[in-house]
Structure 1
Amino acid sequence: MEKRGVPPEIESWFAGRGWRVRRHQSEMLAADDAGRHALLVADTGAGKTLAGFLPTLAAFTPSRLADEPPPEGLHTLYVSPLKALAHDVHRNLVVPVEEMGLPMRIETRSGDTPSDRKRRQRDRPPHVLMTTPESLSLMLAYPDSFSVFGGLKRIVIDEVHAFATGKRGDLLALALSRLQAIAPDLRRSALSATVANPQGFREWLAPWGDIDDVALIDGEKGADPSVEILLPIEERVPWGGHAATWAIPQIYEQIKANRTTLVFTNTRFLAEYIFQHLWNANEDNLPIGVHHGSLSKEARRKVEGAMARGELRALVATASLDLGVDWGDIDLVIQMGAPKGSSRLLQRIGRANHRLDQPSHALIVPGNRFEFLEAMAAQDAVNEGQRDGESFRPGGLDVLAQHVMACACAAAFAEEELLQEVRSSLAYAWVDETAWKRVLAYVSNGGYALKAYDRFRRIVREVGKDGVARWRLSHPEQAVRHRLNAGIIIDSEMLQVRFRNGRSLGKIEERFAASLAPGDTFSFAGMSLEVEQLKDMDVVVRASSKAAMIPSYGGARMPITAHLADRVREMLVDRAGWARFPDDVREWLEVQDYRSQMPGPGQLLVESFPHHERHYSVYYTFEGWNANQSLGMLITRRMEDMDLRPGGFVANDYALGVWGLRPVTDPAPLLSPEILQDEFIEWVQSSHLLRRAFREVAVIGGLVERQQPGRRKTGKQVTFSTDLIYDVLRKYEPDHVLLEAAWADARTSMTDVGRLANVLERAERELVHVQLERVSPLAVPVLVMIGRERTPEGSVDDDLLIEAESMASAAMRLDEREEEAD
């Protein structure tokens, strides 16, 4: 094939801006010219998005067209995880198109796009359409999808790491398979700055997982980022807490010293909390904004516009701004609290500067001493260019059911042909004839226990004169119902906590409520409450004289990655490396090492000690909050069976603290592998976890509709419907496809069973039990969380100080005999 190179029009446009076409940009063009798919891994600021679009721009240049008319119809699809990102890229892509005078029309399509424009986009598609996985799947659910996408040449997937390994990635993988069947010459491109496993993503991107079809292109290396850890000027690194409000005065000085600062937090609550603290410190009345997913679309767009125009001095945000929104004038990124992963930190650092040849500047502000270690581990990983690995999982059956229905809405399909199409994606290569027939049976009638109800009859099977079995819609209205309800993102619900007489105490997140079962006790609104029942969207409780076994509700949390957790464990046993730590952190570790032991890699350290007439055990797992929370539930249940009279537990990313009225002399029986076969299954099924997971898969799989013509069901109505069906299926069809999908979700996303299994494996291989006379220094950060409650009215850090200082004093104090021996 003739080497075509970069068109002169593009070369001139780059030169006119004082730029040059970078190596990875020209390699993306060369891969496309060679008819290959491509994965580009390049630093933020390297021109990734422009590289992804370069083959599209080249196809419309006069030198490539050679007096031929420009291509008609849809040429390139751009898919991003965020609507805001698609709008931002649209704005930036229009500039080179207009300045080069290319005959291209570029439009966006999302859930916010007016319906008349969506119809026009199908009747007269633009040359480039920017969209999301959900909107793309909906477009494929129309009969005209074959003509709309028939001439498609390219698809560009931006920030592919953000969704490829989850359910949105499943939906996109199925859409890619369908598009490849409609347009066999389609070439796929994926872009990312933070992929740690390029081979896995090449396999995900390639049809039939053939990575030889996917060119791996590494971006030109830019300037190394500058990452520093902010420490208290005079005080010590805090023992507990994670909001890091101690740093507000120093952060405010940084905001004043820089042109624009982006302050990242890990939760929406903390975004509001930190913003309020900064606003209270804002003596100079600087323009400071806040941005997170719970704000209205109008509020988010207003803040985004102000940032783009350079009108804000600081913006406090969550993961809603992690991805590629291009604001080149940001001087500094501040990460409040633990970064949780090196890839996430790199992504956030990349929002600063946005120029490849100049370093991005970032500050990490640890909330406590373990978070300081995590910050050091993340800083080291960034300096070494190490990213967190992403693990792929089998595609979800609920997503597959939704895709099957979308295909049926477009046209009748032959079941064997569609199966081959589905299996061409890595996520669904595992689907065999048996699984396929189960999915088709479910989509056709809801399953054995529900097939008597007409409303679940969505598709019917017919054998044509050619002997081929094809599936078609049972009624045209099924297409309307599907398009109203299709989607993957399920909003998290809040549940009311109330007494039986109806008096409400407030709301807790459903994720926490789902882990509760009748008889469990937890702290809320300053009281110890016992769960009586979970009914619809209510947690019905009664006041309890028993101590709360679950001290606080957890909320949404990002767990520490396994990569970063391993680095922290290595730091704990690298005594020579402690010299670079602040004095108080080094002393904390030295006293721990003297009085007890360090939790080394490959082992599970458990410490047991009395404190305030209770007996405590702390398990140093380093497997993340979700796995530790699940382990706490299981251990306390097993302690009950062994008459150890458990009082409760508390967890963070690094450790689990459990207490009771009787001492644990040997933790091994509490950690036997059978706990995942017996207590785990019983707990998940008796708690609300499986019921909650079923609600999500029932909505995704189309069993229950959120939206009906002219009205939308409330969360309470959806819950009532799914709970009713769940009870029927559990009784009459326990092997139903959606119950299987719900069980898979409950095991992976809700309980993190994989990392939970890691704890038990380490316990079986090398369990180290140290019995102490009093609390150890390493135990303090997790134990001071006891009794803390994270409510909008409460403080995150300040309430811990008195208890932290008291417990820390006991932990750090040396006995007279220890001092003499020393």
Structure 2
Amino acid sequence: MTEQAGVPPEIAQWFEGRGWRVRRHQAEMLAAADEGRHALLVADTGAGKTLAGFLPTLAAFCPSRLGGAIPVDGLHTLYVSPLKALAHDVQRNLLTPVEEIGLPVRIETRSGDTPSDRKARQRARPPHVLLTTPESLSLLLSYPEAPELFSTLRRVVIDEVHAFATGKRGDLLALSLARLQALAPGMQRAALSATLADPDSYRDWLAPWGDIDSVALVEGEPGADPDVSILLPRDERIPWSGHAATWAIDQLYEKIRAHRTTLVFTNTRFLAEYIFQCLWDANEDKLSIGIHHGSLSKEARRKVEGAMARGELRALVCTASLDLGIDWGDIDLVVQMGAPKGSSRLLQRIGRANHRLDSPSEAVLVPGNRFEFFEAFAAQEAVREGRRDGEGFRPGGLDVLAQHVMACACSGPFREEDVLSEVRSTQAYAWVDETIFARVLDFVATGGYALRSYDRFRRIVKERDGTWRLTHPEHAARHRLNAGIIVDAEMLDVRFRNGRSLGKVEEGFGASLEPGDTFRFAGMDLEVESLKDLDLVVRAAKRSATIPSYMGQRMPISTHLADRVREMLADRAGWARFPDDVREWLEVQDWRSHLPAPGRLLVESFPHRGLAYTTYYTFEGWPANQSLGMLVTRRMEDRGLGPLGFVATDYALSIWGLEPVEDPAALLSPDILTHEFVDWVQQSYLLRRAFREVAVISGLVERQQPGKRKSGRQVTFSTDLIYDVLRKYEPDHLLLEAAWADARSRMTDVARVADVLDRAAREIDHIRLDRISPLSVPVLSMIGRENLPSGAADDELLHEAESLASLAMRVDPVLEDQFRRSPG
């Protein structure tokens, strides 16, 4: 690559010295920057996306471009990533070309883990390149020196943009970008991703003032197709139920032995701990196997990351904490334990293997049960076809906007019209008008009508000249202590008596333990010594332990994969691709009942153990099915059907009661979302939980105070008290509106509930049976076990599933010959 193509000779020579070439998309990212355009790069993992994003920055510091001038001191480029681990990894990899080319570029990271003295020094004497997260960037903007700090900014690079742009972290980043653009009008924006289903929607999000034409779309060179296989039991009999896939441990260990380095992904922190322990139990060769998830201490995570970078581990069991961008070239196998949930997520995880564009990544999917087998099969096909999925964009959250307004006030006095103009320049908040913004300002200034008599909610005030300022400097310090978007379940520090921290467990779990109880965490058996404030003091246990269950949010199956699974079930000619026991399962289901079909809703009713059961095959994900279960049982109660309970999975909802459901369509009429839904959400814990989160994000309730942190119980007590006051005296309060938006979209997945109702209104296949159907076995086997930790309950699940299956799969002797002779 020559300078005539736009690449400085210093960079071209560095590529040539490594036996590489500047790829087309890397040169196009540089060309877009030279033309003064923003850019969105969509390229496969291993295509050198991060280097492409930084190429304009490196070029700006090349002697051939400086023309003998000294580089301008100050912050030149911001790199924003969703993960602290990714920022540290990028720093390691970015230092290599900087040092080998000899560029005068200083690179540093900044996150919640950065020491306070270094943060202060970065504000006073910033590096040329700062690697950070959306939350840390927002906090930087809250300091009075922000205008001077960012005045030299020329470029912002947003890595793995798909991971957070559609959520509240994306709202916060969009507002920060607008603020940065006002402070540095010439700033260029660049975003990078390997897994975007709709690039234009992300161009719209990235562009200031919705000017999508100002954002160049750069598509990467295609890479080698990944090698994705599905691991089956040796007898090819896939379990009916369960999620941990512990049947595969011996086979998984064999694959670890046969590869250099294996990355084993799980969908929850609990499963990471559980699978890690299972692998250690099978580890006859004493291979180096590590564990990584978000609850482990910073020191533990860094230690594992360093060991992986040095090639010292043979396997690493992890969660989404390592989904994104980590460049460890020695990984030659990625394993997904359990359902992949989405093709984009799977592609992202597969990309951790080899991390080279020209080499195929090897991945193995390990389904925990039969429905997960279909999901894995659908994901395998989607990857083969290059089809991606992902969440859509929604209006920005008012709680996030309130936090941003407070950050602006902490930086210095501001004029209402100036900040509103910045806010409206974003895609997330283009809908905000003067009236809505005035409500946000009033909330930040007084807490709202019902709370304005309390001094502690008076944070900003409007002066006679029309500017807004802080009522007291201490509000700035309190804001910086509490600002952030991620509102996790309250956690307890797990530490030894000498102070050494192991990480965190949920407060609800820790509070249930007493001295002498044992549990397993960070790969160790621990015994509780005491619970002091927010510290769970432990020592090494002398006996085997139980395992903590992390109650994190469930990832639902994507709409894309759900549609593919329905199509697979309806495609009888394609059943030949499946193992014999799965094919027989579908054949008996088809013989005795129906199979779910695209565009239709299958509902089965049957007696079982003296009760009336109804199973709805929605394929809309656990949150939507859970919400539908709550709504339908309320209607059944009103109609005298005596509902007794329900159980939900990603694929189906099963409800049992005293009386049979004769007309499921009446239970699924669309008006359920205008009447029962509103009543249910208002009376359930959902709205309170949503309010707790928006109250914390907006700054109404503070978790952190100087020298101490409120417990989860204290935060919940405060938010519940305020919630009751607002519901009674100010039902149209800004935060109640924000909580409603969260409850509808995120917690209840009401859009996917509406999809079920829409299908029900068009066509229902209601099948009445004399006993349980084969397809309902996986969901019914979950009854009474759904709240138990995955893995710990798997033995029970398998036993119950086999018992139910023997009943469901039995074909009456008189009909058996006809069944065996039937087509398919």
1:475 aligns with 2:468: no
- After TM superposition, the structure 1 = structure 2 runs for residues 213-362 of structure 1, keeping only pairs within 5 Å, are 213-362=214-363
The equivalent of 1:681 in structure 2 is: 678
The equivalent of 1:534 in structure 2 is: none
Instruction: Please say which of residues 74-83 and 412-421 is displaced more in the overlay.
Output: 412-421
The equivalent of 2:397 in structure 1 is: 396
State the AA in 2 paired with 1:763. Answer: A
Structure 1 unaligned segments of length 5 or more: list them.
496-506, 513-536, 538-551
3-state SS of 2:451 partner: coil
Mapped to 1, the partners of 2:5 and 2:790 lie a distance apart of: 63
1:663 aligns with 2:660: yes
Contact 2:269 2:550 (C-alpha < 8 Å) held by counterparts: no
State the AA in 2 paired with 1:284. Answer: D
Alpha-carbon offset, residue 158 of structure 1: 0.3
The equivalent of 1:59 in structure 2 is: 60
1:724 aligns with 2:721: yes
- After TM superposition, the structure 1 = structure 2 runs for residues 90-489 of structure 1, keeping only pairs within 5 Å, are 90-464=91-465, 469-489=466-486
1:705 aligns with 2:702: yes
Contact 1:242 1:796 (C-alpha < 8 Å) held by counterparts: no
Deviation readout 1:423-445 (Å, 9 max, x if unpaired): 00000000011111110110111
3-state SS of 1:463 partner: coil
Deviation readout 1:297-320 (Å, 9 max, x if unpaired): 111111111111111111111111
The equivalent of 2:597 in structure 1 is: 600
State the AA in 1 paired with 2:393. Answer: F
Deviation readout 1:706-754 (Å, 9 max, x if unpaired): 1122222221211111111111111100000011001111111111111
- After TM superposition, the structure 1 = structure 2 runs for residues 16-55 of structure 1, keeping only pairs within 5 Å, are 16-55=17-56
Alpha-carbon offset, residue 511 of structure 1: 11
Contact 2:265 2:317 (C-alpha < 8 Å) held by counterparts: yes
Mapped to 1, the partners of 2:550 and 2:122 lie a distance apart of: 46
Alpha-carbon offset, residue 510 of structure 1: 9.8
Instruction: Please say which of residues 812-821 and 315-324 is displaced more in the overlay.
Output: 812-821
Deviation readout 1:786-820 (Å, 9 max, x if unpaired): 12155459723211222211211111111133225
Alpha-carbon offset, residue 553 of structure 1: 11
Alpha-carbon offset, residue 463 of structure 1: 3.4
Deviation readout 1:587-611 (Å, 9 max, x if unpaired): 1111111111111111111000111
State the AA in 1 paired with 2:352. Answer: R
Alpha-carbon offset, residue 294 of structure 1: 1.1
State the AA in 2 paired with 1:598. Answer: L
Contact 2:446 2:459 (C-alpha < 8 Å) held by counterparts: yes
Mapped to 1, the partners of 2:806 and 2:660 lie a distance apart of: 23
Contact 2:268 2:550 (C-alpha < 8 Å) held by counterparts: no
The equivalent of 2:616 in structure 1 is: 619
Contact 2:295 2:505 (C-alpha < 8 Å) held by counterparts: no
Mapped to 1, the partners of 2:443 and 2:738 lie a distance apart of: 12
- After TM superposition, the structure 1 = structure 2 runs for residues 490-501 of structure 1, keeping only pairs within 5 Å, are 490-493=487-490
Deviation readout 1:139-195 (Å, 9 max, x if unpaired): 101111000001110000000000000000000000000000111110000000111
Deviation readout 1:201-247 (Å, 9 max, x if unpaired): 00000001111000000011110000000111115111111111111
Which of 579, 583, 597 in structure 2 is aligned with 1:582?
579
3-state SS of 1:393 partner: coil
The equivalent of 2:638 in structure 1 is: 641
- After TM superposition, the structure 1 = structure 2 runs for residues 790-809 of structure 1, keeping only pairs within 5 Å, are 790-791=787-788, 795-809=792-806
State the AA in 1 paired with 2:815. Answer: E
Instruction: Please say which of residues 642-651 and 173-182 is displaced more in the overlay.
Output: 642-651
State the AA in 2 paired with 1:591. Answer: V
Mapped to 2, the partners of 1:158 and 1:188 lie a distance apart of: 11
Contact 1:790 1:796 (C-alpha < 8 Å) held by counterparts: no
State the AA in 1 paired with 2:608. Answer: H
Deviation readout 1:30-77 (Å, 9 max, x if unpaired): 000000000000011000000000000000001000101112210000
Contact 1:336 1:365 (C-alpha < 8 Å) held by counterparts: yes
State the AA in 2 paired with 1:10. Answer: I
3-state SS of 2:171 partner: helix
Mapped to 2, the partners of 1:374 and 1:264 lie a distance apart of: 16
State the AA in 2 paired with 1:563. Answer: H
TM-score, structure 2 normalization: 0.91
Mapped to 1, the partners of 2:790 and 2:36 lie a distance apart of: 58
Mapped to 1, the partners of 2:684 and 2:491 lie a distance apart of: 17
Summarize the Cα distance change of 1:802–1:10 in structure 2 as closer, same or farther, 3 Å threshold. same
Summarize the Cα distance change of 1:71–1:294 in structure 2 as closer, same or farther, 3 Å threshold. same
State the AA in 2 paired with 1:456. Answer: F
Alpha-carbon offset, residue 509 of structure 1: 7.8
Alpha-carbon offset, residue 630 of structure 1: 0.9
Which of 609, 629, 633 in structure 2 is aligned with 1:632?
629
Mapped to 1, the partners of 2:35 and 2:635 lie a distance apart of: 61
State the AA in 1 paired with 2:588. Answer: V
Q: Identical aligned pairs, as a percentage?
A: 76
The equivalent of 2:500 in structure 1 is: none
Deviation readout 1:754-799 (Å, 9 max, x if unpaired): 1111111111111111001111111111111112155459723211
Deviation readout 1:663-704 (Å, 9 max, x if unpaired): 111111211112111111111111111111111111110111
Alpha-carbon offset, residue 614 of structure 1: 1.3
3-state SS of 1:760 partner: helix
The equivalent of 1:68 in structure 2 is: 69
Summarize the Cα distance change of 1:815–1:792 in structure 2 as closer, same or farther, 3 Å threshold. closer
The equivalent of 1:522 in structure 2 is: none
Contact 1:511 1:556 (C-alpha < 8 Å) held by counterparts: no
- Tell me the number of residue pairs that the alignment of Structure 1 and Structure 2 aligns: 768
TM-score, structure 1 normalization: 0.91
Contact 1:693 1:746 (C-alpha < 8 Å) held by counterparts: yes
Summarize the Cα distance change of 1:343–1:300 in structure 2 as closer, same or farther, 3 Å threshold. same
Mapped to 2, the partners of 1:718 and 1:820 lie a distance apart of: 65
Deviation readout 1:407-458 (Å, 9 max, x if unpaired): 1111211111211110000000000111111101101111000111111111
3-state SS of 1:382 partner: helix
Contact 2:240 2:370 (C-alpha < 8 Å) held by counterparts: yes
Summarize the Cα distance change of 1:616–1:508 in structure 2 as closer, same or farther, 3 Å threshold. farther
Contact 2:45 2:194 (C-alpha < 8 Å) held by counterparts: yes
